[in-house]
Structure formats: structure tokens, C-alpha cells
Structure 1
Amino acid sequence: MPESTPFAAPGQELWSKLGWTPDSVQREQLIALQQLLRDWNSRVNLTRLVEGEDFWITQVLDSLWPLQPELDTADQPRRCIDVGTGGGFPGLAVAIALPGAELTLVDSVGRKTAAVAAMARSLGMAERVRVRTERVERTGQDPSCRGRFDLAMARAVASAPVVAEYLVPLLHANGQALLYRGRWQPEDQSDLDPALALLKAKTVAIERCELPSARGPRTVIRLMPEKPTPKLYPRAVGIPGKQPLGAQADDNRS
């Protein structure tokens, strides 16, 4: 995209679309994050979405638009976790936008987590951004993470039933899971609902956004636990992806 387009840089058009304006420190951190991503991307293949609108719309705006309720109370203490963080999104953008939050960023690829941890240090956020190199199925069964988070997020990770199995066990009783999706159809919800029944969780909101510059529709599905997640979930590494919940009868419902 041409660099002269309104959304190719951090300006008022971008913040108006988001409904939130960063303070001067946050703005400089976001600009620094773009440069850090460029630097690390030259050494480690993190993402192709580094320049212009690719960064400001598809990384920053797409990471933050689902968080309007949280952006309105940005200094409030929160524990958040980003599952499958890849090159650090949405996690690092959320850490900048929510200065009261502590973030845990999880990815199974060590070269990516090393880069993300280094970027967090460079941004001055090492004290409140933790990075874990592991499969999320293990994270969800770790007592230090299970049932501990206010917000659990995943963007572009897997199908909705699989992501729900990853995220719901991480939530405390009043926490919410944010499933970042593209277009969301009734049949997608029909696929998700049986998985939520097994996880003892429910959908509490479905929010939609059209990204600018014809970047397409986005949807976030917010989930909450109704009861404690059965100890079975998440299942062993690799099983959620191979056998998504709800796709077949599941005899282990307790």
C-alpha cells in the first residue's frame, strides 16, 4: 500500500477508527515496536505485516479494536494472556495500550518467543510482559496459569472450537476469552456451541468491525465460563486440533 494513505502511519484517522487515542508515550512505543519488528524480522521470519497499512491496520488496529471496554479503563490491573502470539500480536500492542495490565505471551516456536521477549525488554515492558515457550495445551494445565486470567486472547490460531478449548481453561470465574475471527456466520456459531457446552462456557458477545482500506471484516467472540472448566480440558498436545470439541460425541463431560 502507498505510504501516503491515511492509515499508513499513526494519525488521527487511525485513532478515530479505533475510538481510542494513545498518549505520547504509547504512541512512541507503537512506533518503536514497528522498528523493532523490522529489525527482528530481518533475522527471524516473524511476519510479513511490517510496513505501512500492513502494520498500522492489520497489526495494531486489528489487535486493539476488540478491546474498547478495556481501553476505557486502561490503567485497571488485569492479567491477560495471548495464545499463539507469533510476532507479538495482539499481545505487545495490548501491553502498550493497557499500561495497567500484566501480559503472558505464549508460542511454541522458540525463535519467535526470543524475539518477542527482546522486543518487550526494548520497549521497557519486561516487568509486566512474560513470555512462555510451550504448547498452549501445557499452559492450560499448568496451575500457575489455569484459571488465572481476566482476558485470554488468540488471533489467527485455529478453528473456533479449538481456540475455545485453549482459552477457556485459562480464565478465572469472571474472565473473558476473546476469539479474533474474520467473517462470522451462523454455522460458525453452531460449530462453536457444542464445544462451549463441554467446556462449561457461553458466548456473551459477538462484535464486528470492518477494517479500513478494504482490509475486510473482523469479528470478536467473547466467551465466559459458566462453571469451572472440566479438568480434562485442554486435552493433550495436538488432540484439540485433530479432534475439535463438538465434532463428534465426547464421553468425558465431567
Structure 2
Amino acid sequence: MPTAPGLQAAGSLQPEALWSRLGWRPDPDQLRGFEHLQDELRLWNGRRNLTRLVEGDDYWISQVFDSLWPLRALLQSPHAAEPLEMIDVGTGCGFPGLAIALALPRARLTLVDSVGRKLEAVTAMVAALGLDSRVSVRLERVELSGRAVECRGRFALAMARAVAAAPVVAEYLVPLLAPGGQALLYRGQWSGTDQEPLERAARALKAEVSAVTSCDLPAGRGIRHAVWLSPAAPCPQAYPRAVGVPSRHPLGSS
């Protein structure tokens, strides 16, 4: 299998070990896609100062692997029915959404962010990677996405990485879910004191915490958690609340 140059240059982890941890390996076209994405990220980072996670393990572990590990079951079951419609809220410089689009070629992604300079770069990267037919971008606050007719109740998977406190993210994501869909919150540390307010917020949204999984990132990059929410009934029309309200007055706060 071809070697990912950025990962090899870092010297701390061989690429085969990275894919082994996922129980999946990219085919040659996908690997070239990840390398091309790194090149585009370098280019746009120089213009817009998007992220420090561009080179070596910073890119291959903290961006690519960290985006993909919660979806190992999908990666390992290519013939299973995939959640084709996905939305990445607060996509920033394009993660996890762009990594998922490359790894799951049947998935259709919507990437949302309210920062124009970031979405300009992400839009250009989508075009450069040839993903225009199944990746779209929305420049808006997610509270507006959650009320837009083309987004509300549409997605099988709604996700957010490093966006806000968990109850706030839950209010962003749950209104976007189709019946039977799931919300995925990428988190760092996680404990019972984190889960209790999230569970209260989820009840208000007619959802529940269905699973919490963890991963010790390769090369000592720390422990990450994936928190999954599932709707128990249609999300009340009151949510999401007006722009800015979820972050100022989080659901589930004491």
C-alpha cells in the first residue's frame, strides 16, 4: 500500500498501524484524496490561518484518525447500509466532514459554519477534491440550519467536533435528525458530571444518550470520547432556540 508522506515524516507512527487501529485501510484513490486534502489544507492555512494541525501526526492522527474513529463500524462494513445524509456542524477547516466524505464514498455531507473565511477555504477544498456532487456548504449559524426546511429532520447522522458545551451541541444537532438518526458529539474528557446536564438537555429535546465510546489516540495524543444521542420522539418545534440563546442559556443547566 502507498505510504502517506506526512505521516511517515512525523516518524512516530507508521501508516499501517494507523489504519490497523481503525480496522480499515483506504484504497489507493482514498489515500491520494487524504494527501490531496493535506496539500489543500496547507495552501489555505497559509492564506487564512485555519489550524495548526496540518503536518505529520498533527494531520494524520489529530485530523484524519480523530475524525474517523467513531465511525469504525461503518468503515469496517462497506456493504452495510450507510447513513448517507450527514451534517457536520461547526466544520471549521473541514473536519470531520471532509475526512468522512473521502472515507465513505456513498455519504453525502453538508458542512455548516458561520465564519466566512473558513467556509471560503472549505468550499475551495471541496472543489479541488472533486467532491462537489456530494458535499455542500452552508454559511450560517446552525440555529438557522435547524429551522431551515431543507435541513430540519433530514439527516441520518449529525455531528460536531469541538464546537461548544455538550448540552449546547445537543440543541444544535437533535433538530437536524431524521427519524432513527443519530447525533455524534466528539468530546475530549468525559465523566458523569458532563453526562448529567447532557441527559437533562436530551430529555427536553425528546432524545436520549444512547452510547458513550472512547479511544486512546495513537502516539500519545490523549483520550477522546464519542457521545451518541438518539431521538425518542420528534424534536419539539421550540428547538433550536434563537441564534445565541442555546450558548447563553444551555438546556440542562442547573
TM-score after normalising by structure 1: 0.94
User: Does the 8 Å CA contact 2:83/2:157 hold for their aligned counterparts?
Assistant: no
Q: Residue 239 in 1 paired to residue 245 in 2?
A: yes
Check whether the contact 1:79–1:148 (CA below 8 A) recurs between aligned residues.
yes
The Cα shift of 1:77 comes to 6.0
Question: Does the CA contact (< 8 Å) of 1:80 and 1:150 recur in 2?
Answer: yes
User: How far 1:205 moved relative to its partner?
Assistant: 1.1
- Helix, strand or coil: the match of 1:205? strand
Q: CA 1:163 to 1:77, structure 2 compared with 1: closer, same or farther past 3 Å?
A: closer
* Deviation by residue 1:2-46 (Cα, 9 ceiling, x = unmatched): 934243x7x201101222101111000000000000001010121
Question: Number of paired residues?
Answer: 246
Deviations along 1:57-115, one digit per CA (max 9) or x if unpaired, are 10000000000122134474600000000000000000001100100000001111111
1:17 paired with 2:16, answer: no
Asked if the contact 2:101/2:135 (under 8 Å) is kept, the reply is yes
Given that 1:148 and 1:170 are in contact with CA atoms closer than 8 Å, whether structure 2 keeps it comes out as yes
The answer to whether the aligner puts 1:159 opposite 2:165 as a matched pair is yes
| Alignment correspondent of 2:61 | 57
State the match for 1:41 in structure 2: 45
Q: Alpha-carbon deviations, 1:202-231, whole Å to 9, x = none?
A: 111111000111111000011110000000
**1:197-216 matched pairs, under 5 angstroms:** 197-216=203-222
1:66 to 2:70 alignment: yes
1:180 Cα deviation after fit: 0.2
The Cα offsets for residues 133-165 of structure 1, whole Å up to 9 and x where unpaired, read as 000000000010000001001000000000000
* Aligned equivalent of 1:101: 107
Equivalent in 232, 235, 241 of residue 226 of structure 1: 232
Gaps of 5+ in 2: 1-6
- The runs of at least 4 aligned residues of structure 1 exceeding 4 Å deviation read none
| Preserved contact between residue 147 and residue 173 of structure 1 (Cα < 8 Å) | yes
Letter of the 1:214 partner, please give it. G
Q: Separation in 2 of the partners of 1:212 and 1:22?
A: 18
Deviations 1:173-196 (A, max 9, x none): 110000000111011111111100
CA RMSD, aligned part only? 1.5
Partners of 2:12 and 2:219 within 8 A in 1: no
Farther off after superposition, 50-59 or 12-21 = 12-21
Partner of 2:3: none
The 1:121/1:2 distance shift into structure 2, 3 A limit, reads closer
Query: CA 1:77/1:186 → structure 2, altered by over 3 Å: closer, same or farther?
Result: closer
Question: SS in structure 2 opposite 1:227?
Answer: coil
What residue ranges of structure 1 are gaps of 5+ in the alignment? 249-254
1:240, distance to aligned residue in structure 2 (A): 0.4
Counting aligned pairs with the same residue, the percent is 57
Q: Is the 8 A contact 1:74 1:100 kept in 2?
A: no
| Contact 1:74 1:99 (C-alpha < 8 Å) held by counterparts | no
* Conserved? CA contact 1:182–1:219, under 8 Å: yes
The two structures have a TM-score, normalised by structure 2, of 0.94
2:156 pairs with 150, 164, 182, which one?
150
Whole-angstrom CA distance in 2 between matches of 1:4 and 1:54: 9
The answer to whether the aligner puts 1:86 opposite 2:92 as a matched pair is yes
Q: Which moved more, 1:75-84 or 1:181-190?
A: 75-84
